[in-house]
Chain A
Amino acid sequence: MSDRKARTIKVPLLARVEGEGGLEVRVREGKVASVSFRIFEPPRLFEAFLRGRDFREAPDLTARICGICPAAYQMSAVHAMEAACGVTVDGPLRELRRLLYCGEWIESHALHIYLLHAPDFLGYESAIHMAKEHGAEVERGLALKQAGNAVMSLLGGREIHPINVRVGGFYRVPAKRELAALREPLERARDQALETVRWVKAFAFPEFERDYEFVSLRHPSEYPLNEGHIVSNLGLDIPASEFEAHFTEEHVRHSNALQGVRRASAGASADPRWSTRREPGASYLVGPLARYSLNFDRLSPIAQEAAREAGLGPVCRNPFQSIVVRAIETLWAADEALRIVAAYEPPDEPAVAVEPRAGTGVGATEAPRGLLVHRYRLESDGSIAEARIVPPTSQNQRSIEQDLREFVAPRLGLDEKTLTWQCEQAVRNYDPCISCATHFLRLRFEGDDRPCRS
């Protein structure tokens, strides 16, 4: 019998996450001694790389940070630049930006639900193994993702790394009939998203809840995508420009990504629990669970109804149920996309003019994985003097570690394999996006296929 007093749960390389990371949970004397969510993907130094570049280049350059959510990077970048230059983009251009974002949410959430996360709940090593017995469901996931791809292709110019977004708007806007062509695939996607909610709600979810500080955008009337104040369930309500007064990033030895934490000096809050969260380094949670729990009342009726049918209240604190929340957000995104398509009237110009000026601008938008903040300081000629990018996974790292700590403690009696599986699943609840790896084949040749030439 193994010694339950001292053990280490170690996953050197996490599967079904973006980029290269691992986790390690050390147990001593029957208690969790340490938890490390390790990110060893090398830093890519984008912020330094942006210095000296023209402000108009930021959307295309930062889109390269992530292959799953390039539009999110573009949206945060353009909003930050427009804030720095004192420009507001409104009307149909604003709606088209929302539509592009809906496409990205559908694409990203469908990928995570069907191909990365569902195998955890159904006991498969990968989606490829799952597809043999759940072919119809995987086909539905692929079709749903394809609908998101169609939106991205039309508005972004291509499915991955869109090239049509610019500071002030777009390079080209679609004609009304082009957008109308999205109606049919989006209607199908809405049906498929509803089926997705009904599919995932029946999964078995571990009994686990945490008292998170949820942080997301909140808009006066919309489910948040591009705009809104940064709010939390502990009473925070600030404009995006004040983000750095309340949040900061810390370096830890086991991670090549900075960890987002609450700043000690953040101001008072109406919630008495806030006093316990004011120590330096307190974690907080961004992403679907936070967005949903802070904005349930902003979801469309069909999405609210689906959430109720799935047994979710207006607040969800079980991270394993994030798969259900993603399905509800996918349904909302398809519904919202259809609303935009139906109401669309092309703008006179594809973009508003933006003249550079010296100043600082902050853009905060809701990437599929959560709040994504960009801050740029511009010189008067429009060159970037300073850039700061705070992605959602960086903000969630400490929360991932705290989830693991609290999740593992009462489950130390489980066998190694089960506990390791559940720990990996707990990390995948976050859909962590460690990097956008360069696309290339990684092959090790075995068997009969020999090189043709080398």
Chain B
Amino acid sequence: MPLVIGIGREGRGDDAAGVRAARLVRALLWPQVRMTECAGEAAAVLEAWRDEEVVVLVDAMSSGAPAGSIRRLDVTGTPLPAAFFRGSTHALGLTEAVELGRSLGRLPATLILYGIEGRDFAPGGRLSYPVECAVRDAALMISEEIITRWGVHPPPAA
């Protein structure tokens, strides 16, 4: 059964996009999918996917694309771009978790990353409108991939 990991924090504007999308996936597919949340600190992320076979990560990103853009990366065999390793994150983050996991042979057999482009990461802020819309779209895209790739079926409607 795939594990969905929502990365990010509430109360930091669009930084919460990943955890919001992951919660929606859980709501759509529960109990056929497991979900956990992480602030994004590398050691905790590595711990969260320990012994997992299939993991879908979803996180806010800042790549310069329009706010609300959604990108999907299969990072199982492809390193994240070198630009990702900018030295500004003392609290080693998601990219470091992925690449450390790769160096240590601790990546799940399948690791998919969904990124939701954020606009405003100010403390205390709420999700911006385009990101709020993208959270729903990303949750649907993730759910669709889980259903089609891993044969997970959503629960019947009540």
Please report A residues at the B interface, Cβ cutoff 8 Å.
Answer: 13-20, 64, 67-68, 111, 115-116, 126-129, 131-132, 135, 138-139, 142, 145-146, 149, 158-161, 433-434, 436-447, 449, 451-454
Contacts and interface: CB of A to CB of B under 8 A. Distances in A.
A116 B44 CA distance: 17
Given A127-B96, A160-B39, A445-B71, 8 more contacts: A131-B100, A135-B103, A433-B90, A439-B7, A439-B39, A440-B8, A441-B63, A441-B94
B83 interface: yes
Nearest to B8: A439
Contacts, number: 160
Nearest to A438: B121
Contacts of A116: 90
B83 A440 contact: no
B83 A13 contact: no
A276 B42 CA distance: 45
Interface centre among A13, A142, A149, A159 (most CB of B within 10 A): A142
A131 B39 contact: no
B40 A439 contact: yes
A68 B91 contact: yes
B63 A442 contact: yes
Interface of B: 7-9, 12, 14-15, 39-44, 46-47, 59-66, 69-74, 78, 80-81, 83-96, 99-100, 102-105, 115, 117-118, 121, 123, 137, 141
Given A13-B87, A160-B91, A441-B115, A138 B61 contact: no
B83 A127 contact: no
A448 to B, nearest CB: 8
A126 B70 CA distance: 29
B11 to A, nearest CB: 9
B141 A452 contact: yes
Contact of A449 (B39, B42, B73): B73
Nearest to A432: B90
Contact of A453 (B47, B63, B69, B89): B69
Interface centre among A439, A445, A451 (most CB of B within 10 A): A439
B43 A442 contact: no
A443 B141 CA distance: 20
Contacts of B91: 18, 67-68, 111, 160, 436, 439
Majority secondary structure of chain A interface residues (helix, strand, loop or mixed): loop
B75 to A, nearest CB: 9
A111 to B, nearest CB: 7
A443 B104 contact: no
B43 A146 contact: yes
Given A146-B43, A439-B93, A64 B103 contact: no
A68 B65 CA distance: 29
A184 B14 CA distance: 38
A443 B89 CA distance: 13
A131 B81 contact: no
Contact of B100 (A15, A20, A127): A127
B15 A438 contact: yes
A139 B104 CA distance: 8
B112 to A, nearest CB: 11
Contact of B87 (A16, A146, A160): A16
Contacts of B40: 439
Contact of A161 (B39, B72, B73, B103): B39
Contacts of A438: 12, 15, 121, 123
B89 to A, nearest CB: 6
B41 A160 contact: yes
A135 B104 contact: yes
A332 to B, nearest CB: 21
A161 B15 CA distance: 15
B51 to A, nearest CB: 14
A114 B51 CA distance: 23
Given A15-B87, A142-B43, A444 B81 contact: yes
Given A17-B87, A20-B88, A440 B62 contact: yes
A443 B81 contact: yes
30 contacts: A13-B86, A19-B88, A19-B90, A68-B90, A68-B91, A111-B43, A111-B91, A111-B92, A115-B96, A115-B100, A131-B100, A131-B104, A142-B47, A159-B39, A434-B90, A437-B88, A439-B89, A439-B91, A440-B14, A440-B62, A441-B63, A443-B80, A444-B83, A449-B74, A451-B69, A452-B70, A452-B141, A454-B66, A454-B69, A454-B71
Contact of A439 (B12, B83, B105, B137): B12
B103 A132 contact: yes
A239 B95 CA distance: 44
B78 A441 contact: no
Nearest to B40: A439
A440 B9 contact: no
A225 B62 CA distance: 37
A159 B44 contact: yes
